[in-house]
Structure 1
Amino acid sequence: MPVTHLPIIDISPSTDADTTHKQKIAAEIHSAAHEYGFFYLTGYQIPEQLIKDCFEAARVFFDLSPSVKSQIAIEKSPCHRGWYALGGEILDPVHQQEGDIKEGLKIGNDLPLTHPLVTKNIPLHGPNLWPQTDQDINAAEWKNTMQTTYEHFCATGLELMQYFAMALNLKADYFDCWLTPPQAEPMATLSPIRYPPLEPDDKKLSAGAHTDFGCLTLLAQDDNEGLEIAMPDGTWLSVPPIEKTLVVNIGDMLAFWSGGKYRSTLHRVQNRSGRPRQSLAFFYDPAYNTPLSNLTNNPNMNSAATSEADNEVKTALDHLLQKIGDSFSYQQNR
């Protein structure tokens, strides 16, 4: 097993009749979120074969020609879905204006055009863009793999947020009202990513230093290293892949809800493995009208605290729109 300073937290189901087991897990998550903003997760209920199938489906897509991939280019989506090319995302515009050396996909909550949130033109809500069947891809199987993976990650994300609620001394189901359909449609995104190998003398980064925009990120890695997190002393700590684990990190929203108790940690990617690197990022973000209020000051906050007419409280949608607008080149050219 690779050497790591990050905690490895096991959330395997327990047969305990009381809450002792869950409270122990919540305490471990609290400590890791406070000290690092990152930890490894094991014991989750996502089939390993499904993750492997998703990696393979993504590889097949990324191997297609740019002209074929561009049929579902993110620029064609009204709700930030589809494929973006190398340089399409610019996570650190100060140090890497030409954008990240990676390509990726955005697969979200696949809402039909008739859904109320779509007919109301709520940004970031709508249907996904799916590849068409050709000699390399069976569209129905490809879509099913991605959607099944998305659903499993949603379930694990919800389970983790219940532990975070306990860690913040809230009821375990505190966040459920912003994350559980049909009362709420989470703005979650499954994002397969491929990083081509960097040249040995290349000063560029595969992904520029950034914090994640939303609530919680779950990450599956292939067997190539590359992910690094910023430490308080200014050094960078490698987060190597460990078999049968996911990497979990805190996003801006959860850091804000916690009143700064939890770190939304700066991180970056450098693929110097000499071969393509793949990852599978799942960004678990709440419903669009979720208020971004400090829960340590307002523990009674609920989903009714913010209405569409309330401009005093920033919402999850406000934050995501700002961050996406800042970091995607096609948004800046509109």
Structure 2
Amino acid sequence: MPSVTQLGIPHYVPAPPTKADLDYADLAVIDLSKTDTVEGRAQLATQVRDAMTGQGFFYVINHGYTAPQAERIFDVADIPFAGVSDEEKRTYAGNIKATGSYQGYKLRQYWHIDGGVHDQVEHYNIHRDVTKKQHPKELRPLLPEIEAFARFNHLNVLHPILQLLALGLELPEDTFVDNHGYSAVNETYIRFMKYYPRSEDEETKTRNVWLKGHTDFGSVTILWSQPVAALQILSPDGGWRWIKHIDNALVVNLGDAMEFLSGGFYKATIHRVVQPPEDQRGYTRLGVFLFASPDDAVKLKHGIVRRCDDADAPTMEQWRRARTSAYGQTELKKKDDGRVEEEVINGVVVKHYN
């Protein structure tokens, strides 16, 4: 990370790792330092291709951020929640349904989960160009750090991953990099996200599900690993498996846009968030993400198996606005088995897994 002045802020103390015996997914571990050589990229491209056509998630290690730097960014990430008043949060809340954009706050109880229960999660979303929006006064002195962190994620993590994904398709390695420009018009952004404990009544009504199984609408999601176990993926055998915390690792999955762009070769990964194991209940769960999307003007069509006719393919802007506006706000149609609910976005069926 470029050198920036670090202000003194409170330290966020996360929950201790769980001791529960959980059924963890067996995920590939990608050593990003190997992308420095042609041979290393070729080897990693095969690993990434196999991971993304198998489990759909992988870990990244040796990404270039030190453990103290990662710890610091979680301290920064907590400021929009613990350091900002509820009144000021409302001032900077995004008009999500109207704009199709998450920029700013998504406040608690905005999404309907199930059984009349709404979410207990806040997030604050910051475009990598931090000057695009005004921010709460408590966050403004930290913007140089956040901007440097966004740049690091985009150029030092996202772009190498996009190169590996292209090589896995035997495409020129900058195929996807070229439509994920750092200065382009798109909604690639940093998200700070905080889950709060729920009541027993809420847990019962939602069967302990905090966010239903879903796919992300963008291309690549990068999650900075944190210790509260709650994230699960839908494995190829139909079982939900937990994602294990690894210190200073990243957890990577793909979204709808990459499924479109790869012609269905890479699948958008179905994942959900559930109540943590018993020894972590009562703690907040603080998350740090980069949600990446192709440039807004990119047509979401490419390659092998298409989800819609080329003429009907949405642009990235159309897709993200429609998915963002609808999420947690629309009436979903239950399928026969009750485990899957559907909505139609821009003529494409979007599934949610309960």
TM-score by length of 2: 0.75
Against the structure 1 CA distance between its residues 128 and 98, is the aligned structure 2 distance closer, same or farther, given a 3 Å change threshold?
farther
Alpha-carbon deviation of 1:292? 0.8
How big is each residue's C-alpha offset from its partner over 1:295-318, in whole Å with a ceiling of 9 and x where there is no partner? Answer: 2379xxxxxxxxxxx974421111
CA RMSD of superposed structures (Å):
2.7
Aligned counterparts of 2:225 and 2:150: Cα–Cα separation in 1:
16
Q: Give the counterpart of 1:5 among 23, 26, 41.
A: 26
Q: Give the counterpart of 1:69 among 79, 89, 94.
A: 89
Q: Say whether the 8 Å CA contact 2:66–2:248 is kept in structure 1.
A: no
Matching of residues 197-276 of structure 1 within 5 Å: 197-199=197-199, 202-203=203-204, 204=206, 205-272=209-276, 273-274=280-281, 275-276=283-284
Against the structure 1 CA distance between its residues 181 and 216, is the aligned structure 2 distance closer, same or farther, given a 3 Å change threshold?
closer
How many residue pairs get aligned? The number is 294
Partner SS, residue 287 of structure 1? coil
Q: Say whether the 8 Å CA contact 2:257–2:294 is kept in structure 1.
A: no
Gaps of 5+ in 1: 113-126, 299-309
Determine the structure 1 residue equivalent to 2:348. Answer: none
Amino acid at match of 1:192: F
Alpha-carbon deviation of 1:6? 1.1
Amino acid at match of 1:130: H
Matching of residues 173-192 of structure 1 within 5 Å: 173-182=174-183, 184-192=184-192
Q: Say whether the 8 Å CA contact 2:299–2:315 is kept in structure 1.
A: yes
Determine the structure 1 residue equivalent to 2:45. Answer: 26
Determine the structure 1 residue equivalent to 2:300. Answer: 292
Amino acid at match of 2:95: E
Q: Say whether the 8 Å CA contact 1:7–1:32 is kept in structure 2.
A: yes
TM-score by length of 1: 0.79
Q: Give the counterpart of 1:83 among 105, 112, 122.
A: 105
Matching of residues 36-185 of structure 1 within 5 Å: 36-63=55-82, 64-75=84-95, 80-90=102-112, 95=114, 98-110=117-129, 127-132=132-137, 137=138, 139-155=139-155, 156-182=157-183, 184-185=184-185
Against the structure 1 CA distance between its residues 24 and 243, is the aligned structure 2 distance closer, same or farther, given a 3 Å change threshold?
same
- Percent identical pairs in the alignment equals 23
Aligned counterparts of 2:34 and 2:193: Cα–Cα separation in 1:
30
Q: Say whether the 8 Å CA contact 1:206–1:269 is kept in structure 2.
A: yes
Greater strand proportion? 2
Determine the structure 1 residue equivalent to 2:4. Answer: none
Partner SS, residue 176 of structure 2? helix
Gaps of 5+ in 2: 1-16, 331-354
Aligned counterparts of 1:227 and 1:109: Cα–Cα separation in 2:
25
Q: Say whether the 8 Å CA contact 2:220–2:293 is kept in structure 1.
A: yes
Q: Give the counterpart of 2:285 among 271, 277, 280.
A: 277
| Runs of 4+ in structure 1 over 6 Å off | none
